[in-house]
Amino acid sequence: MSRDVTERNVALVDLVDRLLGGGVVIAGDITLAAADVDLVYVNLRALITSVATAEEKNALPRMGSAL
Amino acid sequence: MIDLYAITDDPAPPLSEPLTAVASHGLAVVCGPAEDGEVTAEVLWRHEEVVEALMEERDLLPVRFGTRVDDETAAARALGDRHVQLAGALDRVRGAVELSVRVIGHAGGDDLRAKAAAAAAVHGPLSQEARASTQLIPREPSELLRAAYLVDRASVDSFVAHVARLQEANPRLRLLCTGPWPAYSFAES
């Protein structure tokens, strides 16, 4: 995928939502327990928050489309 | 140990090393060697790129990130255990992809009714253009809407154009549309 950095950062918030909160659950062998998911959010939080702040300040293009 | 990426119809398309496909009951699950270590943004993107490349070729059901089984036998068993539900779920997303829309703004300050109205003004019309839609819980106070839409592949362009029109009509809001994503938010019934 050749998303540029801005698009990737905007899309990171959506990516985290989808990979960690979505997808079909099979086998019941999720290695990432709920606590680990929280940890991932904490670790990515600084990056995600900076993206959210930038979005709020209109610092990014109007359409953050990764299309 | 192997990580599971996505479920598609058997046979899976040709895969490049080290990915493999395991088939059972007319379904195939795409697997790769388990990767340990910290879950960083890069790790998530690498996983996503595998699923998106597959999405170019096939309709698929993305598997929850972090799903790991002992070996290919266990992967086949995981398919077999739920094959009826999985085949049904795959059929529901067949021919469609997921688009994400977030709305950011301070409509009417902290007036909850104004916020709900602003979210509905976007979500209502977009839901009409989607096969299905779902709202996720906003994570930031400034987020008025965090939603996912299941859209026919052929309708992606018109959906995105509709988002652009809604942005034009609501200059005080910021509409962030990303995708097309695999149908993560519609994989479970």
B9 and B77 part of one domain: yes
pLDDT band at residue A43, thresholds of 50, 70 and 90?
Answer: confident
Q: How many domains in chain B? A: 2
B85 and B103 part of one domain: no
**Mean pLDDT over all residues of chain B?**
93
End-to-end CA distance of chain B: 28
Of the candidates B52, B63, B163, the beta carbon closest to that of A24 is on: B63
Tell me which of B15-29, B32-46, B163-177 is least confident.
B32-46
Cα separations in angstroms, B101 against B98, B123, B159, B164: 10, 9, 11, 11
Contact call for residues B19 and B32 (beta carbons, < 8 A):
yes
Contact call for residues A18 and B185 (beta carbons, < 8 A):
yes
- Tell me how far apart the alpha carbons of residues B9 and B12 are, in angstroms, rounded to a whole number: 6
B117-165 pLDDT tens trace: 999 999 999 999 999 999 998 877 888 999 999 999 999 999 999 999 9
Write out the two tokens for A53. 């702040």
CB pair distance less than 8 Å for B74 and A14? no
Backbone φ and ψ of B173, nearest 5°:
-105, 160
Contact call for residues B101 and B108 (beta carbons, < 8 A):
no
B134 and B53 part of one domain: no
Report pLDDT for A66: 45
Closest CA to A41 of A26, A19, A59, A24: A19
Q: Which of B44, B170, B178, B186 to mutate to test the interface with A (most CBs of A within 10 A)?
A: B178
What is the span of the domain harbouring residue A22?
3-61
Looking at residue B149, the DSSP 8-state letter turns out to be E
B51 and B106 part of one domain: no
Q: At residue A57, does pLDDT exceed 70?
A: no
pTM, full prediction? 0.88
Q: How many domains in chain A? A: 1
Neighbouring residues of A33: CB distance < 8 A, sequence distance ≥ 6? none
B82 and B18 part of one domain: yes
Contact call for residues A11 and A64 (beta carbons, < 8 A):
yes
CA B103 to chain centre: 18
Per the domain annotation, does A66 fall within a domain?
no
Residues of A within an 8 Å Cβ radius of B: 1, 7-8, 10-27, 29-32, 36, 40, 43-44, 47, 52, 55-56, 58, 62-67
CB pair distance less than 8 Å for B48 and A55? no
Contacts of A54 in chain B (CB under 8 A): none
CB-based contact, B56 to chain A, within 8 Å: no
CB-based contact, B137 to chain A, within 8 Å: no
Contact call for residues A16 and A24 (beta carbons, < 8 A):
no
Of B73, B93, B113, which residue sits at a domain end?
Answer: B93
What is the span of the domain harbouring residue B139?
96-186
Contacts of A14 in chain B (CB under 8 A): 100, 102, 178-179, 181
Of B93, B117, B132, which residue sits at a domain end?
Answer: B93
Q: At residue A49, does pLDDT exceed 90?
A: no
CB pair distance less than 8 Å for A27 and B47? no
> What ipTM, to 2 d.p.?
0.91
Cis ω on the peptide bond leading into residue B180 (within 30° of 0)?
A: yes
* CATH number of the domain bearing residue B172: 3.30.70.260
Nearest CA distance, B65 vs chain A (angstrom): 5
CB pair distance less than 8 Å for A29 and B100? no
Q: At residue B93, does pLDDT exceed 90?
A: yes
Closest CA to B183 of B160, B157, B137, B149: B149
